[in-house]
Structure 1
Amino acid sequence: MFNSRHFAARMYRYKGVVLVVFALCATSFYLGRYMHDKDTASHNGPGPKLEKSLGDSPALPVGHADKPLDASLVMDQVRSRGRPKPLTSRPAASHFVSALNKTWMTWTDIDSPGVYRACVPRPKDSVSMSEVVTGGLVEKSSTMTITHCLSSCISLGFTYAALSHGTECYCSDVKGESPLLKYMESALCDLPCPGEPRYHCGGREYMSLYRTSVPDPRCSRIELKPAGSLPLIALASYPRSGNTWTRQLIERGTGLLTGSVHWKHEKDMAISSKIFPGGNVDYQSKQTICVKSHLSDPAHIKTFEGAVLLIRNPYSALVAEIFRRQMLDQEKSADETVKYFDSQEWRRFAENQAQSWRNMAVRWITNSRRIHVAHYENLQENTYEELARIVRFLDVSVQKQRILCAIQEYPSSKATGVALGNHGRKTRVYLTKNPFPTDVRALVDENIKQVNATLIEHKLTPLPRDYSVEVF
């Protein structure tokens, strides 16, 4: 049977001269933007998620210097410039280190043409290659760049672009549980792109995989329902507990937009206009499948007909929240923020916010008419099963391909592992020591025990067993 896209892919190879010119122009564009802003590169925090949209960071590894505490730089697109980060970029301060291998080009613009996924195994033979990489080899060029390969695959309508051997560009679509999405460490893709040697275009046995901007038809259609047609259900969490990522999963998994109780504040932000358009409407209009809330007032809770309560280890959430407040709200540098953890102000914050974390959980559990508890760590570990449970609670039928599409569009850090560092964050900072003093840890642990006892009392899923500072 004639396959128009495969034919187009073959014909596309003969447009080399035009494409090289396009690639050089695109590369020049990105390089120009980078050079224009390079003096602020180390100051800029992470942009939107590389999967992408905005989201929350995963569990933080805490411990010794050889097993550092992930400090969760959570800047959420505020300082995004849409420029690539060079291979040689390193933080200036000596007491924190970058968490990512700078071996790929990343885009942090919401309207970017593609986003990095990971380094993936290259199929061993031609038969496996044709089965896994559905579009096949599109071009082999001595001037290959990431931008060029992405543009080629986008023009052919493919959802993924893969670079290998430094010079090869492949295009593919994904259906079901594809072996193409077996994420490996990015350092394995170690061959420079000949057209832009600062970045890597796969390896000899691996491929650098990018998600293009082409919509995946399995879960790309997401709608806003007419006013009054849906129950008012909250997606409640303490800040930095994965609410944004979970909203992304829910929208793709149900085909329905989510809202926010903070809509008046967020409606003019890029997160609403580009990422969560459901956040532009009054959440009480009952047009969205669920509504983000970081509030814990009992009167507020009782306005909802039900709630999905998202709980994250407080040791992770508190550190992540400090980085958000310091670097986003107060525009402090990474170096200044790391030093903050030695202050008395940090101690007071940790003590107060540990109680706020407890109140958020206990009040929603005890005041909700009906509730489903989702633990962030479980959602990271078993995304398909946990998302399916949330979708069922929201009274939406579970469609396997839609759920698979959702978790492929927004993979967890457990899936991507070291490939993306902290759930796709462009820039990460790691603390080199545990920032929680012993007496503060005792207070946090006591709050953890109270939340767990409340969960058990209400016959809800208990906290994961590793809710302690040692697990990091």
Structure 2
Amino acid sequence: MKRTRSRKPLASFVFANAMVLIRLKRLSKRLIVSIVIALAVVHTIRIVLTSPNHDYDENVEIPLKSVKEDRNMAAFVEPEVVEKVKQPTSSQSIFCETTDLGCFKPAATNGHMTHNDMTLTWCANYCFKRNKQYAGITQAIKCVCGDRANQLVDLTLDGKCNVPCPGDEKENCGGSDSIRAYRLKGQCVNDSFTDDFAETRWRGCFSAPRPDAAFRFFSMAITTSQCLLTCERSYYPIAVVADSGSSCRCGHMTARFNLTQRLKDCDAVGAVKVYRTMVEDSRCGNIHLLPPGSYSKTLLASYPGSGNTWTRYLLEKATGIYTGSVFSDSNLYRDGLLGEMHSARGEFIKNHLFGNGRPGESRVVVVIRNPYRALLAYLNYLYSGGFHTGSLPQDFFLQPKYAITQQSIREPIRHWKAVPTQVIKSGKPYLIIYFEDIVSDPIGSVREMVNFASNPLLRPSDLESRLACLSQETTGQFKRKSKKFPFNPFKPEVAQMLNTAIVEVRQMLKNAGVKKELPPYEYDPDYAR
């Protein structure tokens, strides 16, 4: 219930109280004046403290744009937005991190578990406990689980999911003959969030969002873990903590607050810490195959270990269309790149062009990476059993049979040089993208690749919104964590071979008219000699 506030003018208030005092006739004029002034001050303070600018009562509607800014934080709100500032309503005690795969017709056969108060979290947790990677909900109350997506749904047949979940009407629980499918990205956890757990969700330090960045204020003087849980239960993907817990705000990344505000120095004036909740941002979910038809495809070419798989992940999030591949890698399919087995209806087709191969697609995006680091990434993949994020022991290349020698490096160098060379000689339209630019500016690089592709379906009306969402999701599960070896595995004679190849490719790109010069890979601070 709203409180009513006195709006009596200060002059009438002073006059009324002065008349009362004068009638008493027992006080001196000087004392009467002092008392009247004191009463006026008290009245003014009462009005200020009960005004909307200072009222944080959870039951009072206030314009969020008027919330007073603290030392390091802007108000985080859009103009004219009015919302109740209150504690989150969800009492959820289990949280699962999932990826929405979309709505499809069900697979031919699958068992299910029925739950009358079905929610996404209930079904995801049920499947997680059974060590399954995929979960699906159909007919409002039925949960199905699987090790692969095609055990749940037919990815080639879109469904109609229009049934809300009985346990949470904000969520979708499939349709009468359709399944809403999800991939489990990690473990499910209970609500006993600790600061140690919160640190695993840390995404970096940022400049405080501008007042129009659409964040919501929830609490003052709160721990990091409490802030993360507050935003989790309020269905926000981003938690922002300022001043060592002096304030907690929740929201999502937009054109006004994204990776461009990230700081290298967390001690910078106005720096805030940003954490990622387990809530999926639906803006860059619901990825699907291209509709049946004939399309002008774009090849995504690179030397192995150059970030092709990670780039595919970024493109899928941005466009809402699955990418394809000439390799049909079952591991990638199992891990969520569902276009891997459906390249005929995918866009940006992965290939590592070598030998006599020539790009068959109408145009080509070439991703080039520092050959020192691309080679190490590829060897990590090969020797870790074909896992795209595999990592080798620190002393691996000290073993004689795995040492990088002039003989073992000769063929990889030819391959690294051949990818851009073959593309340029093909005469087809091409775009050269450097892996290091994707790392430093993933949103700008993805936008450039999407604009280069000829298929208009890759530029949905909500592209910019999807790119803002992608700011929260740039790593994904397909990017290998960087690791520096404690020694240099490239001997001087090997480094000389690599440096020669780098100079040759730089000149070849320059002769072809590529505007952006190949980075100075021959001066790699960790590996070049």
Aligned to 1:209: 275
One-letter amino acid matched to 2:349: V
Contact 2:396 2:402 in 1 (8 A): no
CA distance in 2, matches of 1:457, 1:181: 33
What secondary structure does 1:455 align onto?
helix
Deviates more, 1:307-316 or 1:160-169: 160-169
**1:11-410, aligned counterparts within 5 Å?**
11-12=87-88, 82=187, 105-106=199-200, 115-121=201-207, 131-132=212-213, 134-138=215-219, 146=225, 149-164=227-242, 165-166=244-245, 169-178=248-257, 182-184=261-263, 206-217=272-283, 219-263=284-328, 265-266=329-330, 269=331, 271-281=332-342, 283=343, 285=344, 287-299=345-357, 301-329=358-386, 334-340=393-399, 344-367=403-426, 369-395=428-454, 396=456, 397=459, 401-402=464-465, 404-405=467-468, 407-410=470-473
The alpha carbon displacement at 1:334 in A equals 1.4
Contact 2:307 2:435 in 1 (8 A): yes
Contact 1:133 1:170 in 2 (8 A): no
Aligned to 1:454: 508
CA distance in 2, matches of 1:225, 1:291: 13
| Change over 3 Å in CA distance of 1:467–1:220 after alignment to 2 | same
Of the two structures, which has the highest relative contact order with CA contacts closer than 8 Å and spacing of 6 or more? 1
Count of equivalent residues:
351
Contact 2:443 2:470 in 1 (8 A): yes
State the percentage of identical aligned residues. Answer: 19
Contact 2:304 2:378 in 1 (8 A): yes
CA distance in 2, matches of 1:182, 1:407: 15
Contact 2:63 2:83 in 1 (8 A): yes
| Change over 3 Å in CA distance of 1:460–1:132 after alignment to 2 | closer
Contact 1:134 1:173 in 2 (8 A): yes
The alpha carbon displacement at 1:380 in A equals 3.1
| Change over 3 Å in CA distance of 1:158–1:83 after alignment to 2 | closer
TM-score, normalised by the number of residues in structure 2: 0.55
CA distance in 2, matches of 1:436, 1:162: 43
The alpha carbon displacement at 1:445 in A equals 1.8
One-letter amino acid matched to 1:372: L
| Change over 3 Å in CA distance of 1:246–1:459 after alignment to 2 | same
More strand by share: 2
Stretches of structure 2 that go unaligned for 5 or more consecutive residues are: 1-60, 65-80, 96-120, 122-127, 129-184, 190-195
Q: Does 1:442 align with 2:492?
A: no
CA distance in 1, matches of 2:326, 2:259: 38
Deviates more, 1:253-262 or 1:403-412: 403-412
**1:392-431, aligned counterparts within 5 Å?**
392-395=451-454, 396=456, 397=459, 401-402=464-465, 404-405=467-468, 407-411=470-474, 428-431=482-485
Contact 1:117 1:210 in 2 (8 A): yes
The alpha carbon displacement at 1:241 in A equals 0.9
Contact 2:322 2:338 in 1 (8 A): yes
CA distance in 1, matches of 2:259, 2:436: 25
The alpha carbon displacement at 1:352 in A equals 2.6
More helix by share: 1
Kindly report the root-mean-square deviation, in angstroms, between the aligned alpha carbons of the 2 structures.
4.4
CA distance in 1, matches of 2:220, 2:308: 40
Contact 1:298 1:367 in 2 (8 A): no
CA distance in 2, matches of 1:222, 1:22: 26
Note the alpha carbon deviations across 1:13-41, whole angstroms, 9 max, x for none: 8x8xx67x769xx9xxxxxx9xxxxxxxx
Contact 1:222 1:251 in 2 (8 A): yes
**Bigger CA radius of gyration:** 2
| Change over 3 Å in CA distance of 1:180–1:207 after alignment to 2 | farther
| Change over 3 Å in CA distance of 1:151–1:279 after alignment to 2 | farther
